[in-house]
């Protein structure tokens, strides 16, 4: 039997931890929409295939590690996503797939909700991937100076000398834009630098189903205002919902 239900997906690797389906289902239900979202595990070598087979989907969200790799596979990309160099939301317009990026604005929305002032402030961003690029773009747009801190490629828990020094320099905000802290993975050991950096706000883009990350626990211990990736996910999902449906969440 045919149905007019709209189907959306979130793709990534890993993907089982994603809260996106629950968030969007709540918004669909609130507006009485006949729609659903599913999780799809997509390995890097499967990415091109999933785009070719995406016809049943009204749109899909993109998470690690595909936010940059998906760009050349799309029919169009928003100016902001192109400037960032990463896509986290794909919209279907007729037969075309159009990429957007709501990560950066979701991050700044979450920081504002924490009470952060961004204009004239300095932010340290751990990472150089799509999420880090989105954070830097959105912060710069709001008058905040971003500085990237990069881990060694061969040893993800190590830092080069210059970046290690930056970790012990004062910044107003610290943002983890790496996978460190995900369920079942390596933690970001924050006790060695967070006290020296003394940020007023900490945002961990990672969220997990099994309690808080070590970064968030350490920030709370030091009395630093903080939030994990759930706060950012909710804010960016609201923006994605507007793109997909034209409705206010």
Domains, the chain: 6-102+234-245 (3.40.50.10860), 104-231 (3.40.50.720)
DSSP 191: T
Beta-carbon contacts of residue 135 (< 8 Å; ≥ 6 apart): 103, 104, 107, 123, 125, 146, 175, 177, 205
Please compute, for residue 27, the number of CA atoms within 13 A of its CA located in the half-sphere on the CB side.
Answer: 21
The two structure tokens encoding residue 237: 């999902």
d(CA 105, CA 109): 6
Listing DSSP states for 104-122 in one string gives: HHHHHHHHHHHT---TT-E
**62: closest CA among 50, 45, 78?**
50
- Write the pLDDT tens digit of every residue in 101-146: 999 999 999 999 999 999 999 999 999 888 999 999 999 999 999 9
Give me the catalytic one of 29, 67, 195, 235: 67
- Write the pLDDT tens digit of every residue in 46-86: 999 988 888 899 999 999 899 999 999 999 999 999 999 99
Residue tagged 């994990």 (tokens): 228
**Do β-strands 89-93 and 96-100 pair in parallel, antiparallel, or remain unpaired?**
antiparallel
Q: Give one word for 186, left, alpha or beta, with left for phi > 0 and alpha for psi -120 to 50.
A: beta
Note the pLDDT of residue 70: 97
The average pLDDT across 215-243 equals 96
The average pLDDT across 24-34 equals 97
Confidence of residue 156 (pLDDT cuts 50, 70, 90): very low
CB 26 within 8 A of CB 55: no
**20: closest CA among 59, 69, 71, 46?**
59
Residue 30 designated active-site? no
CB 236 within 8 A of CB 207: no
């Amino acid at each position: 039997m045919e149905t007019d239900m709209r189907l959306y997906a979130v793709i990534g690797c890993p993907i089982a931890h994603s809260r996106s389906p629950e968030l969007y289902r709540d918004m669909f239900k609130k507006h009485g929409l006949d729609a659903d979202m599913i999780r799809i595990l997509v390995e890097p070598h499967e990415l091109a295939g999933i785009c070719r087979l995406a016809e049943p989907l009204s749109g899909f969200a993109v998470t690690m590690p595909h936010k940059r790799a998906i760009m050349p596979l799309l029919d169009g990309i928003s100016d902001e996503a192109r400037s960032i160099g990463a896509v986290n939301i794909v919209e279907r317009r007729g037969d075309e797939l159009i990429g957007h990026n709501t990560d950066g604005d979701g991050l700044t929305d979450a920081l504002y909700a924490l009470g952060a002032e961004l204009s004239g402030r300095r932010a340290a961003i751990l990472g150089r991937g799509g999420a880090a690029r989105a954070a830097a773009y959105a912060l710069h747009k709001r008058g905040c100076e971003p500085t990237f801190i990069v881990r060694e490629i061969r040893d993800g828990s190590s830092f080069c000398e210059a970046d290690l020094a930056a970790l012990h320099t004062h910044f107003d905000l610290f943002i983890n834009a790496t996978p460190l802290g995900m369920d079942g993975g390596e933690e970001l050991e924050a006790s060695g630098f967070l006290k020296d950096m003394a940020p007023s706000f900490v945002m961990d883009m990672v969220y997990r189903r099994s309690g808080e990350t070590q970064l968030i626990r350490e920030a709370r211990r030091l009395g630093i205002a903080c939030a994990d990736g759930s706060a950012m996910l909710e804010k960016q999902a609201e923006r994605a919902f507007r793109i997909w449906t034209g409705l206010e969440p």
